[in-house]
């Protein structure tokens, strides 16, 4: 599998949206090219006559951004329409291997993915999405360590193909994380020690699977609330990126690990890569959830 050769970066002209640029450049393979996209929202509310020049102004803006990456091949595109609809269309039309954007919407969305352009894009785009949020600064080091939370389902491991492409030409360590929610009763108060977090056999099998693909992989098991543990382990191991699979069919409320990924993105202090699982995997997961005897 070839590394991602074309990365689509969605920008709305704000400083917040531009924060994804440094992160995208950091994780992109050396030979990857950038497509910079600005979508002019419609219907527009502008002074009569000014709207005629919006495309020119947007093109000038994107060209100025492109000059920041002299070592890469950069194309610029100005589209009109509803941003959350046009961005997925652009990703497909331009042959993007990866989409990058900040969890920020110029129209005043302050609660990040909930109801924002980014939420709709993640739900509808077929390629992995690299996200950061305003105020998060990328680590100074290159892509050295990636944390991959898994929930034991087939779909959650679909991120592996993307990990392999990102690792091409580099040698990042991949940490597969299983978060175990402890029993409601705290047995430690009765003098019963908590069990040591041993990797489950299924998790160890996934580690071996990645190792066969040529990746340096190891397992991490933690106990507690999943979103909090993902963020805690990311800080503990100083990971460069958190990579998670999502079941975007019904929005971010149907993410693998429940609403965990949504919470991780809302509170992230480093970039998060979300990859929507395939329709077939979503269907199998739905059947499992609605099978007799399932919760």
| Look-up of token digits 């990866």 | 98
Is 5 or 212 the better-scoring residue by pLDDT?
212
From residue 147, how far is each of 37, 178, 282 by CA, in Å? Answer: 29, 10, 23
Give the domain 145-289 fold. Answer: Rossmann fold (3.40.50)
Domain 6-132 shares a fold with domain 145-289: yes
Distance CA 248, CA 252 (A): 6
Q: Is 105 helix (H, G, I), strand (E, B) or coil?
A: strand
Whether the CB-CB separation of 232 and 263 falls below 8 Å is answered with no
Average pLDDT over residues 156-168: 83
The H or E element spanning position 121 is helix 117-124
Q: What is the mean pLDDT of residues 82-100?
A: 94
Ranking 101-110, 145-154, 198-207, 263-272 by mean pLDDT, the lowest is 101-110
Min mean pLDDT across 29-38, 149-158, 231-240 is at 149-158
Digit-coded pLDDT (tens) for 47-68: 555 545 888 999 999 999 999 9
Cα 18 to Cα 28: distance, rounded to the nearest angstrom: 16
Task: Say how many residues make up the chain.
Answer: 295
Dihedral (CA of 269, 6, 105, 21) sign = positive
Spatial separation of the C-alpha atoms in residues 220 and 245, rounded to whole Å: 17
Distance CA 117, CA 20 (A): 15
Q: Give the span between the Cα atoms of 121 and 135, in whole angstroms.
A: 21
Averaged pLDDT, 185-204: 62
Q: Answer for the pair 124, 95: CB distance below 8 angstroms, yes or no.
A: no
What pLDDT, on a 0 to 100 scale, did the predictor assign at position 58?
Answer: 93
Calculate the CA dihedral of residues 259, 38, 93, 5 and round it to 10 degrees: -80
Beta carbons of 257 and 228 less than 8 angstroms apart: no
Strands 6-10 and 98-102: parallel
Q: What is the DSSP string of 234-285?
A: HHHTT-SEEEEEE-GGG-GGG-TTTTHHHHHHHH-SS-EEEEEPPHHHHHHH
Average pLDDT of the residues of the chain: 79
Strand partners, 283: none
Which carries the bigger pLDDT value, residue 48 or residue 201?
Answer: 201
Report the C-alpha gap between 77 and 209 in whole angstroms.
39
Looking at residue 283, its pLDDT comes to 42
- Give the rounded percent of residues in the chain with a pLDDT score beyond 90: 43
DSSP-derived pairing of the beta strands 6-10 and 33-41: parallel
CATH architecture of 6-132: 3-Layer(aba) Sandwich (3.40)
Please state the domain extents for the chain: 6-132, 145-289
User: For residues 5 and 95, what is the distance between their CA atoms, to the nearest angstrom?
Assistant: 9
CA distance 199 to 4: 31
Residues 79, 290: Cα–Cα separation, whole Å = 42
- pLDDT exceeds cutoff 60 at 238: yes
- Give 194's Cβ-side CA count (13 Å radius): 15
Structure tokens of 165? 């492409």
Please write the tens of the pLDDT for every residue from 104-138: 644 433 334 434 788 788 888 889 999 998 888 87
């Amino acid at each position: 599998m070839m590394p991602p050769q074309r990365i689509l970066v969605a920008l709305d002209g704000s400083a917040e949206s531009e924060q994804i640029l440094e992160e995208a450049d950091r994780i992109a393979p050396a030979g990857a090219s950038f497509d910079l996209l600005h979508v002019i929202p419609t219907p527009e509310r502008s002074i009569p006559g000014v709207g005629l020049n919006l495309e020119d102004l947007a093109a000038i803006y994107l060209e100025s951004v492109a000059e920041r990456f002299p070592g890469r091949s950069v194309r610029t595109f100005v589209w009109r329409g509803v941003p959350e609809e046009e961005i997925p269309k652009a990703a497909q039309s331009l042959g993007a291997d990866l989409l990058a954007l900040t969890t920020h919407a110029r129209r005043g969305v302050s609660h990040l993915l909930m109801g924002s352009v980014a939420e709709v894009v993640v739900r509808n785009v077929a390629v992995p999405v690299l996200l950061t949020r305003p105020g998060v600064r990328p680590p100074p080091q290159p892509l050295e360590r990636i944390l991959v939370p898994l929930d034991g389902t087939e779909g959650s491991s679909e991120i592996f193909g993307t990990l392999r492409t990102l690792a091409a030409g580099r040698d990042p360590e991949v940490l597969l994380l299983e978060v175990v929610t402890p029993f409601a009763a705290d047995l430690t108060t009765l003098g019963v020690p908590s069990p040591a977090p041993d990797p489950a056999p299924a998790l160890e099998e996934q580690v071996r699977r990645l190792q066969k693909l040529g990746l340096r992989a190891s397992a991490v098991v933690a106990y507690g609330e999943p979103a909090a543990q993902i963020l805690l382990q990311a800080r503990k191991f100083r990971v460069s990126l958190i990579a998670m699979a999502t079941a975007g069919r019904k929005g971010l409320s149907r993410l693998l690990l429940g609403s965990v990924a949504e919470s991780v993105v809302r509170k992230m202090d480093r970039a998060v890569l979300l990859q929507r699982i395939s329709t077939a995997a979503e269907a199998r997961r739905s059947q499992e959830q609605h099978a007799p005897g399932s919760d």
